Amino acid sequence: MKKIWKSPALKAAGFAVCVASLVSGCSLFSSSTAPKIAPLETLDGKVAGKVVWQARTDDVLFPLAMVVRGEQLVTATSSGQVSAFSAANGQLQWRNDLHDKLAAGVGSDGRYAAVVTRNNELVAMDGAKTLWRKSLAVPVVTAPLVAGERVFVLTVDREVLAFDVIDGRKLWDLRRPGDALTLLESGVIGAYKDTLVVGQGARMAGVDPLRGTLRWEANVATPRGTNEVERLADLVAPLMRADEMLCARSFQAAVGCVNAERGSTTWTRNVGGLAGLGGNKELVVGGDASDRLTAWKTSNGDVLWTAEQFLNRKLSAPAVLNHHVVVADGEGMVHFLSDKTGKTEWRVATDGSAIMAAPVVVGDKVVVATRNGGVFAIHID
């Protein structure tokens, strides 16, 4: 079930909600009828691959954002274990046990890393060395972005904060007119050249990272509905980037792409869905609330194909590796689909526990992390 953050005014009024109409399986009433999970297909064996390396961490109980910088892969666990592995062979490069449970993590630029604890402390690290801790006033569930010797934080009410990565000084904050409700899920924060890119409600905004001033903003969706719950349309991670095109999912409302050079919306399509997107310069891929996958043409949003073989399998956000769309499911299976047709060509099992992060591409491999703490690098022929 997706959770919601309430503005102080609504919290004081004792407002409480359940996103019953938005998320499959969430109901105001108990039910013994669960959505039918699609069985796995029989594959023809013409395409094959293998797990080329695997590593272990602690259990991961929250949606994890893994970070790839060059040949380094950085992960974080619920218990506060932050690790860096060689993306080439899975060898552990450094590990920092913070001994604090995490709410969000991890961001890294290849040297510095940052996470947020459940006590709402922002923690910055230089490899295995903890540099500083900073208490935050508003909860954070989005992994920080580390870039340009700064740590950028997106709070649940979509305020953006910037800190010096060396000493923790607060450099600026950007507050935009807030919505009464925001989604208590990982939001959009990234970079395009010298611009910080953040999601604020249904808008994608480009921000000057040195001054915290707004450079541009573009709507991905137009919130619709008769109440605040139905109008929830926050942008959700992961953000898909292909050259100057930045594409994102607006929760339950739309999928769209923004041209970051012009700061304007290129296209948007009204389509429901809960998770972020994957893709490349040719196609954008996302699943809806029932795990029906759709591929759109990146340049104009035309539908290329749809795939219904994974209905209700609790899919991750997709990634694209060479000529394959990669998705993982709630049973720890990783599926490889043709990017031209959406047909499944190969799958591989991990450790049987749910995949807790969108697959990330590292060179000619894709890496996934499981609830049980397995990290698997997979190559497809």
CB 189 within 8 A of CB 39: no
Q: Name the amino acid, one letter, at 220.
A: V
Cross-sheet strand order for the sheet of 67-69: 67-69, 72-76, 81-86, 92-97
Q: Nearest 5 degrees, angle CA 308-CA 312-CA 315?
A: 85
Report the pLDDT value the prediction gives residue 320, as an integer from 0 to 100.
Answer: 97
Residue 2: pLDDT band by 50, 70, 90 thresholds?
Answer: low
pLDDT tens, residue by residue, 231-261: 778 899 999 999 999 999 998 889 999 999 9
Structurally, the chain folds into a number of domains equal to: 1
Whether pLDDT at 269 is above 50: yes
- Average pLDDT (336-355) is 96
Report the pLDDT value the prediction gives residue 358, as an integer from 0 to 100.
Answer: 85
Comparing CA positions, the residue from 200, 282, 199, 274 lying closest to residue 245 is 282
What separation in angstroms does the CA of 348 have from each of 95, 175, 192, 366? 28, 44, 34, 12
Whether pLDDT at 25 is above 60: no
Q: For strand 245-250 and strand 235-242, is the pairing parallel, antiparallel, or unpaired? A: antiparallel
Beta bridge partners of 192: 195
pLDDT tens, residue by residue, 83-93: 999 999 999 99
Report the pLDDT value the prediction gives residue 18, as an integer from 0 to 100.
Answer: 37
Cα separation of 214 and 191, whole Å? 14
Cα separation of 202 and 254, whole Å? 9
Of 22-26, 70-74, 240-244, 370-374, which range is least confident?
22-26
Domain holding 196, by residue range, is 4-380
pLDDT tens, residue by residue, 165-202: 999 999 999 987 766 566 678 899 999 999 999 999 89
Comparing CA positions, the residue from 282, 248, 251, 286 lying closest to residue 267 is 248
Cα separation of 245 and 321, whole Å? 18
Residue 3: pLDDT band by 50, 70, 90 thresholds?
Answer: low
The owner of tokens 């953006």 is 160
Report the pLDDT value the prediction gives residue 176, as an integer from 0 to 100.
Answer: 77
DSSP per-residue string spanning 59-98: ---S----EEETTEEEEE-TTSEEEEEETTT--EEEEEE-
Residue 31: pLDDT band by 50, 70, 90 thresholds?
Answer: very low
End-to-end CA distance of the chain: 37
Cα separation of 282 and 374, whole Å? 31
CATH classification of the domain holding 350: 2.130.10.10
- Average pLDDT (112-139) is 96
Report the pLDDT value the prediction gives residue 162, as an integer from 0 to 100.
Answer: 98
Cα separation of 25 and 23, whole Å? 6
Cα separation of 117 and 98, whole Å? 9
Element housing 283 (H / E) = strand 283-287
Residue 20: pLDDT band by 50, 70, 90 thresholds?
Answer: very low
Q: Name the amino acid, one letter, at 130.
A: T
DSSP per-residue string spanning 317-338: PPEEETTEEEEE-TTSEEEEEE
Of 58-62, 99-103, 222-226, 324-328, which range is least confident?
222-226
DSSP per-residue string spanning 232-274: ---EEEEEEEETTEEEEEETTTEEEEEETTTTEEEEEEE---S
Residue 273: pLDDT band by 50, 70, 90 thresholds?
Answer: confident
Report the pLDDT value the prediction gives residue 26, as an integer from 0 to 100.
Answer: 41
Report the pLDDT value the prediction gives residue 178, as an integer from 0 to 100.
Answer: 62
Report the pLDDT value the prediction gives residue 98, as an integer from 0 to 100.
Answer: 95
